[in-house]
């Protein structure tokens, strides 16, 4: 156990330690399919500071998972293509790096947790083998040392009897335990940024609470930046610092967690908040957002939300789409009528 895992043997050129751990600038991703071009991400930008939790909130098909895949460099190409923008890790544009350099970033500095742990783990290898593989490939450890580290990691994510469980296969774990294994795997190489794509969606609420508590604890200990991708407004209210709300491939509102819940400045955010039933409030009527999200192959001109929006005027139906207006020094919203939506505070 003499090997120091914190030594990054995969050195990366051009890293500026004072730059932000993750910056996404005007990212565009499209999928070229037989039915036309689906514009999944249309100019997403956000910053992530060390120790900060940024939630990316949105419904299915809004481009939040594609954004995560683009950051990790695991986008299926083809059909997916990154057509513009920058993804900066401490000042280095990852999109310009060759695959061999990219691999030094993946898992080492930016790691990811997937939604469905059972399909993300390999069913024919033991959990211990899959964890140890990281240390063998990225740190050049011997099998024995790597296995010992795997046990330590399982201990870290509070799997009981880690020494025995390390030889079990993924199917022998329960849903919550598998997600713990995923977390262990993501944290193995001590990354600076963790991307969690719907980490608790497949889990029961009591298990969700365990996993979120574990993530928060590990994040605090390591001062890690966390990008939490989710559609659950409850989880976001509990853990996030900054929120980016996405709709049809765009960030339509960005603000601190308190601002967004207290006074949403975009009609979509407002509609989402009004459409969720609350545990602590009794039978208020749910005001549903009418209609459906647009097809990504056929996003309406102007503001993508205009067909479903109660505030929509002629200006909303015409290109260009509304820019991100500065609502206050720390928040933005992509709505021409943000003042009316937000109301007086």
Partner 1 sequence: MSDVVLETRDLVKHFPLTRGIVFKKQYGAVQAVDGVNLQLRRGETLGIVGESGCGKSTLARMLVGLETPTSGDLFVQGKNMSKVGAEERRRGRRNIQLVMQDPYTSLNPRMTVGDIIGEPFEVHPDVVPKGKRRAKVQELLDLVGLNPDHINRYPHQFSGGQRQRIGIARALALNPEIILCDEPVSALDVSIQAQVINLLEKLQAELGLSYIFIAHDLSVVRHIADRVAVMYLGKIIEIGTEDEIYDKPTHPYTQALLSAVPVPDPKLRGLRDQIVLTGDVPSPANPPSGCRFRTRCWKAQDICAEQQPTLEVRDKSGHPSACHFAEVRDVVHATE
Binding residues for partner 1 (CB under 8 A): 59-60, 174-177, 204-210, 212-213, 231-238, 240, 257-258, 261-262, 271-273, 275-280, 282-283, 285-290, 292-293
Helix (H, G, I), strand (E, B) or coil at 294: coil
Task: Give the nearer residue to partner 1 in terms of CB position, either 124 or 292.
Answer: 292
- What φ, ψ does residue 228 adopt, rounded to 5°? -105, 115
Q: State in angstroms the smallest separation of the CB of 66 from partner 1.
A: 16
Q: State in angstroms the smallest separation of the CB of 15 from partner 1.
A: 34
Q: State in angstroms the smallest separation of the CB of 269 from partner 1.
A: 11
The residue among 88, 41, 89 whose CA lies nearest residue 67 is 41
Task: Give the nearer residue to partner 1 in terms of CB position, either 19 or 276.
Answer: 276
- For residue 57, CA distances in Å to 12, 50, 138, 249, 273 come to 31, 20, 32, 12, 12
Task: Give the nearer residue to partner 1 in terms of CB position, either 84 or 175.
Answer: 175
Max Cα-Cα span within the chain? 68
- For residue 260, CA distances in Å to 36, 83, 164, 249, 326 come to 35, 30, 46, 19, 14
Task: Give the nearer residue to partner 1 in terms of CB position, either 191 or 264.
Answer: 264
Q: State in angstroms the smallest separation of the CB of 17 from partner 1.
A: 32
Task: Give the nearer residue to partner 1 in terms of CB position, either 90 or 270.
Answer: 270
Q: State in angstroms the smallest separation of the CB of 118 from partner 1.
A: 13
* Dist CA 262 CA 270 (whole Å): 10
Sign of torsion over alpha carbons 240, 246, 251, 252: negative
């Amino acid at each position: 156990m003499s090997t120091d895992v914190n030594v990054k043997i995969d050195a990366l050129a051009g890293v500026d330690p004072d730059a932000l751990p993750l910056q996404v600038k005007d990212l565009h991703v499209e999928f070229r399919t037989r039915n036309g071009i689906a514009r999944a991400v249309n100019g997403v930008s956000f910053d992530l500071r060390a120790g900060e939790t940024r939630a990316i909130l949105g419904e299915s098909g809004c481009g939040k998972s594609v954004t995560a895949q683009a950051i990790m460099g695991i986008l299926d190409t083809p059909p997916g293509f990154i057509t513009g923008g920058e993804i900066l890790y401490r000042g280095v544009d990852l999109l310009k790096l060759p695959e061999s350099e990219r691999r030094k970033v993946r898992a080492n500095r930016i790691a990811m947790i997937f939604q469905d742990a059972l399909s993300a783990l390999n069913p024919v290898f033991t959990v211990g083998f899959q964890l140890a593989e990281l240390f063998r490939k990225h740190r050049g450890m011997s099998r024995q040392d790597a296995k010992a580290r795997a046990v330590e990691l399982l201990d870290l994510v509070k799997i009981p009897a880690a020494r025995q469980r390390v030889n079990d296969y993924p199917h022998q774990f329960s849903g919550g335990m598998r997600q713990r294994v995923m977390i262990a795997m993501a944290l193995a190489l001590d990354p600076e940024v963790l991307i969690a794509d719907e980490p608790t969606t497949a889990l029961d609420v009591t298990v969700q609470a365990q996993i979120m508590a574990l993530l928060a604890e590990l994040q605090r200990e390591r001062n890690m930046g966390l990008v939490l991708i989710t559609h659950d407004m409850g989880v976001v209210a509990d853990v996030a610092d900054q929120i980016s709300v996405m709709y049809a491939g765009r960030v339509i509102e960005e603000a601190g967690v308190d601002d967004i819940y207290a006074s949403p400045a975009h009609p979509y955010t407002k509609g989402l908040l009004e459409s969720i039933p609350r545990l602590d409030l009794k039978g208020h009527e749910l005001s549903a957002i009418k209609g459906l999200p647009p097809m990504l192959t056929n996003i309406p001109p102007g503001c993508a939300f205009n067909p479903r929006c109660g505030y929509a005027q002629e200006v909303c139906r015409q290109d260009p789409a509304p820019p991100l207006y500065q609502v206050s020094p720390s928040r933005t919203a992509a709505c021409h009528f943000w003042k009316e939506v937000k109301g007086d505070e």
